[in-house]
Structure 1
């Protein structure tokens, strides 16, 4: 195979060749240094081991030489022989000190021993008679002393060691090895004055190299312990070898690496050239063919005869070019349609743009589109245009017929025009263009029909099969666009509108309120925030269920929205609360008129599931900018004003005042203290007796809730009972009263354990309508074990306004248990006699307001009370007159025939033990009573 440079003309060939070279060179470049590093490390470890052994051997040799020197010194001390003049003597100077302290000198080889040093050394030797003493006087100067003789003849032989003889020299050391001896205690060098820093380096266990002069040395050490044989500190034998000597084998390998790399590259280059020559030709042909296809030359053919993957790839490219030529124009058109879908926000604009693209991909003479309305199943938007004349797109609202467009009928179909056949309703718009045939293609997304794409042909045209296939692709895109638009609209409504009433929710209201505030601040105009709460709405929920409550809320939302202007906003805030934003209002009178109108329309009867309900509305008002600088502050202040409206009797509107915030804080504090009172059992019961006017005996007692505050003492019921009602804690408190009253009645009142015939327990409307009311009554009776006939439940007339039928069902359920039922505050409400007829009421309590002035004979109050007693007796009800405060009123109700009397004249509410300590009115004598009766009749 002939290798030429033509194979390198392509970028792929050059890259492939480069990769071959990298594949061959990189392993050598990586493995070479790694091998060099490993070889160097192994050699270094081996050299360190040999050097450590050498230092140990040298240390043992030094120890032997010191032992021989000690023997010679001891011989000298015994025989005073001057054989130390020999040239290989281990001492350079020698002396002897007798036992009496006199010194005897002998000839010295060099120098002279210092009298001061050898006398101190002699004293040390006498203290250790069994071991020689070695003393390092200074760097390079070492003395040895041994004790000779016994008793009075004990002497000390002292010699200065010839270190060249003891430590050895180059002649005795291994090849290219140097030994330095140091004292470990002081770090003094004995034979290496130029290498004192080596001892410091040996203390670092991580260091294995040291620099002496200009040469790097490998070092190791071995410590010679002299204490056991000589009275001397430990010596450190440091062995050093030049690094160039240690790593000479690794350096040889290092210089061979370039040769190995060169040989690898030459071999890889040769293999790479051969492979490139085989693939570069087919690759150039494939590259040229693909470039031609990319230019739109779909007739291009790539001819490769290699009987391998290149030939198969060339055939695939040729087939792909043919298919691309057929679909390229279609894809270009659909891409334009997709761009319109993504770019346009209005779905109508998207549909018009899609129709404008249709003439490019179909041969039909007219195209049309039926876009269905998800909310209106019987009408649709119809689009039509002619494809050849360039006429504009026409849009019309068309009827789909009474049954609408059924899903099962919306399948691909063909309609042919006939003289006697009617045109289907969805196709009439496009049929008016004079077409003789219409192909109907449904546009579906996830099984749901969104539109119909229509292709119209005249009587001289023959439809092309490709038209339908390409039109179906467009129909799919239309379905996606319509479904996405519908989902976006649904998501927006879910995120910004209340699902129940259809009014804006909190988020949308806050957005509009923030915008209104920005405009008001810029234009220096005002606006108002209204907080609307439905009165007695909970009674509807409790009595008729949440479905009725939801229906009432929907009607209330419609009424609120119906009386507002387009620039105003009404939103459901939660539960039965609504907020209203009145834009561009300056005067309080304008806001007041709107509030009065709102209260009026919200107070009208609501008919839900053929049942009529009545609720009212309380409205709190906050004005911008006087009542707040932010929307949140305005809402809080409007809420405070709404609570003032409820406290004022409901069914009214109140403008915010600064004092209301303090009222809210007090109300919140009171509610928190009431919750704590329930948890800590701070409540107790008082009882007020009901006296029989004829006998003066107790005919019953009414249980009254009292609160013993840990700091404020006994709190007035007029202060905390409304707070219990408002917060909903009245349900829990009422259940406690039921349990406690029945328990105390079972235990008896007073020291003698007496108990009245009945105990009356007041039940609030909220407690009466609570789902667990009857369960709480049953539980209290079961725990106490009293006869149900001893319990009498008191309800008010107003409780019956929410739902008389539901109230009747609950009352009959109580009566079926044997419990008596009393109607409290009779005459202050609607006083409908139909309530007394439909409810199983045993006792009716005439309100205290009617007893005032009844003691005056012939007065209006006396006449009214007398008539009420007679009427109630005629209905078979027991009558209690409340508010008896003097003897005259007591005498009147006795003469009028009241069954029971209740008031401060007889007794105030007292503890259970004091119930029978009431004031018993005196009964008149018979003659006085008869005369009084006669006068009353006259």
Structure 2
């Protein structure tokens, strides 16, 4: 869209163009040259041959010449000369004029006596200053008395006299009308044939023309339009480029702008100072948004960017070029040129020191914790993407090591990157070769330990992934964008198993809980893919429950809510796994179409400790779930006391090693065949030998 400035400029230019054309059309750009004007200091003289006596008289600025023809023999002429220059070589350029208005009277002994009006042009190629006849005759002939007044003659009606062309043997190029150097003008009789008195009076001889022709004016206007449009397009392009490379919230450059800056400043392998990238990620930024709202979160991002900018500005870095950028969300990048190892570490420490102070917002003050990764360019990191990949990996390493710290890319980080790349490749190979297997973690009704369902767990059966569990290869699969393939593999193979054991499952109802990755929340095709598989294997959707982790909702947006609703509309139940770890505000639960909350194992583990806050949290979760009519599952039950505590406080379901470890399908069917009384008896027997957990 054009800017308001561009629209105003075009409107002004349009009005100006129309005004200039109207002004020109009404002779606003007209020029004139009166050949009789005293202001021009033109001189008047008479012209005649030997048979004629002539005399020039000027009265009130009107010149006239009186001629007396004494002998009619031969060619006789008489007239008036208007001298435009003192030197026959140097005249006036009249080519800018296009017409002349003439008002000439002639008194003669014969009727309809004609006069010849000539512009005499000097040109060195054919003119001799000592021979006035050699000056070109650009002439018209007419009978003035037949017109009764003025006549306006276009200058292109003048012609070069043919006798002159023949006399001086003029070539084609010089035989054309030429008014570029006129030293004088002649008004003479055309062949005086009768004896008597001839009087020529020149009342007006005014040249007229335009400073510029309408055609040329249109060309200039079009040229101005072209220049203005190019300027406006350039301005608009620069403005759009600025907008496209600027973060609208903080005013910092964005990722695109950073990439341009880095690409322009990366040194060659042999010359130039290296670039160092600081990659910031705010720890637990989701807490701020959930606790105070997105407006406060946005304000915090602005205050953070100002804090870092002021910290950098207060340091002696004037000799170093640098740029500070907001990449996305709560991720920022600072790139500097020419820092040495000591300066890099010193700057990192200074940044963390500056962030120790709480940041004041409009409604509160908050602490900021961040994970920082640092990497410098070299021959192995000579592009923007490779430099950012290193800094990102170092940041990931810092976050994995406990957050609120910085990590400089080194051999350990490099090994970690190589390890993750190898694992990613092994995962791809295992998927292609179908080397994964499914295990099932039973879920029990808390009241009577009836098996309600089973959580589907992925296990690697390949030798290459031996001793590499899902806790390792799943995050790597997400990082390398393999997780969608894993999700579909698990879903389809679960459906295949259900289809192969359909009769058994109908006789022994079982809910299958399938974990899905957070990336699927931004995949609007995911519900359609599930629908296709449901129809392909004819799976009743009420047999399936999809589990999403609470932390996956950190980046949840309207698309995520739409995806979840589309899954629920298929008839599939949704469960929120690891609840309590993602700091989701309880009032936000209404936004998510979930039917069940799974209490994270970390809360259950602390039930036997003196950590009262964990017990309070479990009670709060159970209370909120009841208020929202959500089912609850306590994960990680490993002893009788934990089971009794959650079941007595209304938890609907339990799972954990107290009851069973993950099983293959055959083992699960054997477990299903056991009478539930056996499990209840085991619980009752064990409960007599253990104490209880008190609130």
- TM-score of the two chains, using structure 1 as the length reference: 0.42
| Pair 753,855 (structure 1): closer, same or farther in 2 beyond 3 Å | farther
Residue number among 642, 652, 655 corresponding to 2:408 in the alignment: 655
Structure-1 residue corresponding to 2:189? none
Note closer, same or farther for the CA distance 1:492–1:676 as it changes in structure 2 (3 Å cut): farther
Aligned to 1:450: none
1:880 and 1:485, CA in 2 relative to 1: closer, same or farther beyond 3 A? Answer: closer
2:486 is aligned, of 733, 738, 748, to 733
- 3-state SS in 2 of match to 1:916: helix
SS of the counterpart of 2:171? helix
The residue aligned with 2:443 is: 690
1:689 Cα deviation (Å)?
0.5
In the TM superposition, 1:126-525 aligns within 5 A as 289=125, 314-319=171-176, 321-322=178-179, 465-466=210-211, 504=257, 506-514=259-267, 520=273
Map 1:788-937 onto structure 2 (within 5 A).
788-803=541-556, 806-854=559-607, 865=618, 868-918=621-671, 922-924=679-681
* Whole-angstrom distance in 1 between the partners of 2:210 and 2:244: 50
CA contact (8 A) 2:426 2:464 kept: no
State the Cα deviation string for residues 435-475 of structure 1 (Å, max 9, x = none).
Answer: xxxxxxxxxxxxxxxxxxxxxxxxxxxx9832788998877
Is the CA contact 1:703–1:760 (under 8 Å) kept in the aligned structure 2?
A: yes
Instruction: Name the SS for the 1:923 alignment partner.
Output: helix
Q: Deviations over 1:210-231 (max 9, x none)?
A: xxxxxxxxxxxxxxxxxxxxxx
In 2: Cα distance, 1:898 partner to 1:624 partner: 55
* Larger mean Cα displacement after TM superposition, 470-479 or 778-787: 470-479
Over aligned residues, Cα RMSD in angstroms?
5.8
Q: Which residue of 1 aligns with 2:454?
A: 701
Corresponding residue for residue 530 of structure 1? 278
SS at 1:885's partner residue? coil
Aligned CA distance change for structure 1 residues 846 and 685 (closer, same or farther; 3 Å):
same
**Offset at residue 729 of structure 1 (A):** 1.6
Q: Aligned in 2, Cα 1:318/1:617: closer, same or farther, shift over 3 Å?
A: farther
Q: Is the 8 A contact 1:289 1:300 kept in 2?
A: no
Instruction: Classify 1:832/1:573 alpha carbon distance in 2 versus 1 (closer, same or farther; 3 Å).
Output: closer
Alpha-carbon separation, structure 1, partners of 2:242 and 2:167: 61
1:908 is paired with a residue whose SS is coil
User: 1:902, CA displacement in angstroms?
Assistant: 0.6
- 1:873–1:640 Cα change, 3 Å: closer
SS at match of 2:539: coil
CA distance in 2: counterparts of 1:700 and 1:325, whole angstroms: 112
Q: Which structure shows the higher helix fraction?
A: 1
Partners of 2:488 and 2:263 in 1: how far apart? 41
Name the CA distance, whole Å, in 2 between partners of 1:313 and 1:912.
114
Residue 487 to residue 650, structure 1, CA distance change in 2 (3 Å): farther
The structure-2 alpha-carbon separation of the partners of 1:596 and 1:685, relative to structure 1 and needing over 3 Å to count, comes to: farther
- Greater mean deviation of Cα atoms: 845-854 or 916-925: 916-925
Equivalenced residue count is 487
For residue 506 of structure 1, give the secondary structure of its aligned residue in structure 2: helix
Against the structure 1 CA distance between its residues 712 and 291, is the aligned structure 2 distance closer, same or farther, given a 3 Å change threshold? farther
> What displacement does 1:792 show?
1.0
Q: Is the 8 A contact 1:675 1:729 kept in 2?
A: yes
Supply the distance in 2 between the matched residues of 1:936 and 1:666 (Cα, whole angstroms): 43
SS at match of 2:176: helix
CA distance in 2, matches of 1:721, 1:677: 13
Contact 2:601 2:634 in 1 (8 A): yes
**Per-residue deviation, 1:558:** 8.9
SS at match of 1:876: coil
Change (3 A) 1:571 1:752: closer
**In structure 1, what is the Cα distance between the partners aligned to 2:552 and 2:514?**
15
How far 1:512 moved relative to its partner?
A: 3.0
SS at match of 1:852: helix
SS for the counterpart of 2:461 is strand
Distance 1:488 1:497, change over 3 A: same
How many Å separate the matches in 2 of 1:649 and 1:857?
24
**Distance change in 2, residues 1:617/1:672 (3 Å):** farther
- Which residue number in structure 1 is paired with residue 18 of structure 2? none
In the TM superposition, residue 619 of structure 1 has moved relative to its aligned partner by 4.4
Once residues 181 and 231 of structure 2 are traced to their aligned partners in structure 1, the CA distance between those partners, rounded to angstroms, is 32
Displacement after TM superposition at 1:680 (Å): 2.4
- Tell me the alpha carbon deviations over residues 267-323 of structure 1, each in whole angstroms, 9 at most, x when there is no partner: xxxxxxxxxxxxxxxxxxxx983999xxxxx97789998999999983443437545
2:334 match:
580
Cα 1:813–1:712 shift into 2, 3 Å: closer
SS at match of 1:641: helix
Change (3 A) 1:803 1:864: closer
Distance 1:782 1:725 in 2: 27
Relative distance call for 1:617 and 1:937 in structure 2 (3 A) is closer
CA separation in 1, counterparts of 2:360 and 2:240? 30
Contact 1:821–1:843 at 8 Å: present in 2 too?
A: yes
Residues of 1 paired with 2:389 and 2:691: CA distance?
66
Give the superposition deviation at 1:906.
1.6
Are 2:618 and 1:782 aligned? no
Q: CA separation in 1, counterparts of 2:165 and 2:393?
A: 88
Preserved contact between residue 535 and residue 650 of structure 1 (Cα < 8 Å): yes
Label 1:477 to 1:897 Cα distance change in 2 as closer, same or farther (>3 A).
closer
Confirm or deny: 8 A CA contact 2:258 2:323 kept in the other structure: no
Secondary structure, counterpart of 1:771 in structure 2: coil
* C-alpha separation in 1, matches of 2:439 and 2:694: 40
> What SS class does the counterpart of residue 581 from structure 1 fall into?
strand
Distance 1:680 1:771, change over 3 A: same
Structure-2 change in CA distance of 1:301 and 1:737 (3 Å): farther
What is the rounded CA distance, in whole Å, between the counterparts of 2:435 and 2:262 in structure 1? 43
Change (3 A) 1:862 1:924: farther
Long gaps (5+) in structure 1: 1-286, 293-297, 327-462, 521-525, 538-550, 606-614
Q: CA deviation at 1:814?
A: 3.2
Q: Is the 8 A contact 1:619 1:653 kept in 2?
A: yes
Q: Does the C-alpha gap of structure 1 residues 932 and 320 become closer, same or farther in structure 2, counting only changes over 3 Å?
A: farther
| Pair 599,768 (structure 1): closer, same or farther in 2 beyond 3 Å | farther
Q: Distance in 2 between matches of 1:629 and 1:873?
A: 54
Q: Is the 8 A contact 1:569 1:581 kept in 2?
A: yes
Give the drift of 1:801.
3.5
Structure 1 segment 44-63 matched on structure 2, within 5 A: none
Cα distance, 1:734 vs structure 2: 1.0
Structure 2: unaligned runs, 5 residues or longer: 1-122, 129-133, 139-159, 184-207, 248-252, 286-297, 363-367
SS at match of 2:607: coil
- 1:671–1:727 contact (8 Å) kept in structure 2: yes
Does residue 568 (structure 1) correspond to residue 322 (structure 2)? The answer is yes
Any idea what the Cα deviations from partners look like across 1:753-801, whole Å, max 9, x if unmatched?
A: 8654211111221112211121122122212212211111112223334
Q: Shift in Å at residue 917 of structure 1? A: 3.9
Q: 1:765 aligns with which of 499, 518, 539?
A: 518
**CA offsets, 1:395-440, max 9 Å, x none?**
xxxxxxxxxxxxxxxxxxxxxxxxxxxxxxxxxxxxxxxxxxxxxx
Q: Is the 8 A contact 2:375 2:390 kept in 1?
A: yes
* Cα distance in 2 between the residues matched to 1:490 and 1:764: 42
Q: How far apart are the structure 2 equivalents of 1:745 and 1:620?
A: 46
What's the TM-score, normalizing by structure 2?
Answer: 0.55
* Deviation at residue 726 of structure 1 after TM alignment: 1.3
